[in-house]
Homo-oligomer: A and B are copies of this chain.
Amino acid sequence: MPVETIKWEHGRVKYIDQTMLPNFFVEHLTDDYLVIAEAIRELQVRGAPAIGIAAAFGVVLGAQKTFCKTLGEWTSLIDHIIDELAQTRPTAVNLFWALNRMKNVLHADHPSIDKAQKALFNEAMQIMNEDKRICREMGNNGAVLIQDGATILTHCNAGALATADYGTALGVIYAAKEQGKTIHVYADETRPLLQGARLTAWELMQNEIDVTLICDNMAASVMRQGKIDAIFVGADRIARNGDTANKIGTYNLAILAKYHSIPMYIVAPLSTVDLEIMSGKDIPIEERAAIEVIAGFGKRTAPENVHVYNPAFDVTPHDLITAIITEREVIYPPYDGKLIKLKKIS
């Protein structure tokens, strides 16, 4: 049973504060959508699918604490809450996808505020439950690509902590393990926020999967030594042509993988595919504060006032991606028409 990153409990949302891992396992309980917004902004909840689920629950929390005389007035207040939640982070499309689903439900024909609240709650639960099922489907689709005894390199955290179930990229590894395969993992520490060191290493150790931590700049050296059989990572937004935004450093890895002839797999639900975006150059890339780079660990490690460039994501062009593993099927290049087709029937 994977760790429960986010759940609904007696009218409240309970979530793991991922900024405290691995030193402290802290869960927060809240009935306040603004706490959820802050949790997303500050990466207490992170990972594209988990952000979508948290935002959907945020709408439910806002809806159950908003009281009005008329449904129309109430609906416009909830619209405002949805807009606020949409401002939290710009890159992961699952946030907007989930909030759009909530907005569509909000604007359906409800007989009363009470019924509308109930419908929003049901939609959020459905988003979460779908994500659980989808994780398993991606895991099974991807696991066939992993041989017994294989060594996988992963980046950031695309595991249980990023989803409602056992993850996207790490889900594939967990599924392979459930099939009886022995898997070794190298985890990039993933600067600046060390999601690989803090979250992926922790999560894999919890699940008794052999993991070796490396700094991001050691990946090429490890590949050169022939230690890596495949790379599996998640995604924050996939453009129509297959270009994929994911945690900063993923594009690095994709180039290194190509150079060393190692397959590079993206694992993501179809909710991460954004058909409105034609190619990677149109994906908005979040830039975060310098402090994450120069003093991220309780100690200043760079000079005062140094200029810092701190993009949270990069875009891997589709021609560096061996395949995209979705809940429906494993898609091989060319991606263009296939993503459109799968997305439309999903």
Residues of chain A having any CB pair with chain B under 8 Å? 22-23, 186, 188-192, 194, 197-198, 201-202, 205, 210-222, 224, 248-249, 251-252, 255-256, 258-259, 293-294, 296-303, 305-311, 314-315
Given contacts A201-B306, A216-B216, contact A252 B248 (CB under 8 A): no
A210 surroundings in chain B (CB, below 8 A): 307
Contact, CB under 8 Å: B220 / A301: no
Given A212-B309, A217-B249, A218-B248, 10 new contacts (CB under 8 A)? A189-B302, A190-B217, A191-B191, A202-B303, A213-B306, A215-B249, A224-B314, A224-B315, A297-B297, A298-B299
A189 surroundings in chain B (CB, below 8 A): 191, 293, 301-302
Least CB distance from A259 to B in Å reads 5
The answer, among B198, B205, B211, B258, for a CB contact under 8 Å with A301, is B198
Complex copy number for this chain: 2
Given contacts A252-B256, A256-B255, A301-B197, contact A216 B213 (CB under 8 A): no
Least CB distance from A189 to B in Å reads 7
3 closest cross-chain pairs (CB), A and B:
A217-B249, A297-B297, A216-B217
Say what secondary structure dominates the interface of chain A: mixed
A201 surroundings in chain B (CB, below 8 A): 302-303, 306
The answer, among B202, B214, B217, B251, for a CB contact under 8 Å with A188, is B217
19 contacts between A and B (CB under 8 A): A186-B309, A189-B301, A192-B215, A202-B303, A205-B303, A205-B305, A212-B307, A212-B309, A213-B302, A213-B306, A214-B309, A214-B310, A219-B252, A221-B311, A224-B251, A256-B256, A297-B298, A297-B299, A298-B299
